[in-house]
Structure 1
Amino acid sequence: MHDDLLAIHDLLKVENEMMDLRAEAAKLAARVQKARARIQQTQQQQAIEEARLAEIREEERTLNRRIREYGAKRERTQGHIDAGRGDYNSALEQLKELDQIVDRLESELLETIEEKERQEVCIERTKELLVVAKGRAVTASEAQRTRRPEVEARFKSLAPTRKARTDALAGHLGQRYADLRARKRPVLVRAVNGSCEFCNMAIPAHYLAEVAGGKRVHTCRGCGCWFRDAVETEDESSDEEDAD
């Protein structure tokens, strides 16, 4: 491999590792944030459900009170009828209305009790979800607490190597490298069936021969990336991607 290509490869390798470490640290932090957000969301849901349960219980108490009140009126009316006091027909009509009111209130009470039971089930399920969310938050926090120092230490240890390799890649090579990185291009590309794997630009055969022989470094005329020293067929390239 040509010395310039080796320098490019070495710098790219250390930078890619540092990028992977940075991405891992971000992923660890994101998991913690997601877990905490899930806890907060579940707690808010629980508060909403418990507030609704309190409303339902108040509705149940109100219905029970009204049933007692109208039930008492019905008993008094029935007592008047049995004792023969007052207008019989009017009392009988009033008793009929009171029966209907009590029946309706009892029906509403039954529906309210059923809703209360459903709401209690929802709250229990939400409590279970909260336990799970808290468990995941603990796991995520422990993973971050364990792995983060290792990631940061490795990242810091690579910084001097990156600086040394960046300094070694001076002049136009360093400028091209920085430009490719800024444009988020792969820097090093393979030749697949005589074409650049990134932009499909045809590659002169002598370019590949010189790169493979370590005589020179060449860049693609289409995307500007450097060619690796390995020349692969399309099938070999596909096999490597499948292995990845």
Structure 2
Amino acid sequence: MRIEDRQTPASITVEDLEVVFPPPTPDDPPAVAVDGVSFEINTGELVVLVGRSGCGKTSVLNVLAGLYKPTSGSVSIVGKPPLAARDHIGYMFARDGLLPWRTARRNVEFALEIRYGRSLSRSERKARAIEYIEKVGVGHALNRYPWQLSNGMRQRVALARTWAIEPDVLFMDEPFAALDAQTRAEVQREFLDVWTRDKKTVVFVTHDLKEAILLADRIIVMRGGKVVDQVSVDIARPRDENMIEEDPAYRSMHHRLIEGLQLDHVPSREI
């Protein structure tokens, strides 16, 4: 099987999703993490979920990825339940999770081994790993081990590993949150460069309102387990990280997000 031959369209439908966790003791009430959430995501759309800690955004992401079973409601990924759609899904966590005994290239190859097994030859896996590591700007570090890489380089390798399996849908849970501001801006640009070329469907979770506006086609705002607003980001791409705050559309959107989250005025990166 050639990865290029797969032509499956990607879209996401969530209807009346509810996630309730059992109480830790009989005297405690159940914890409602997600409460009646519904939305659709189009093929090739980059959607960002924002909200305070505990608002349910990561729980939604984990249900989409098949890591949680919903209490009620329905979820469809490329027309299938999440577990049946596993071959179409990639998931990038906040931590890079690189295997310390494998080089950068071999870490990316490992994801291909898991996803495709013998369907890809060793030479195809190697070529694909090199291709994606070069796409995210760390081609010079192919043969370095994780302990020899900076945090930013490690996240780039993790991004290459996730993208190399060519998922139809990519879930990203605050993947750049631990990076310093300059490195985060660089990795965001590299991520957008790859996304612009491949146009995968992406669901991205962040606390960072500026990051949300920089990246998203649409922002879904969550509060108290519910979707309280959906904001289309009608700012032309590419968006300049250094200049975007001067754009009146950005300021209006940022204010709307703060209102949706019921926050006092806060810096763009703090919620």
TM-score when normalising by structure 1: 0.22
Larger helix percent: 1
Higher Rg: 1
Larger strand percent: 2
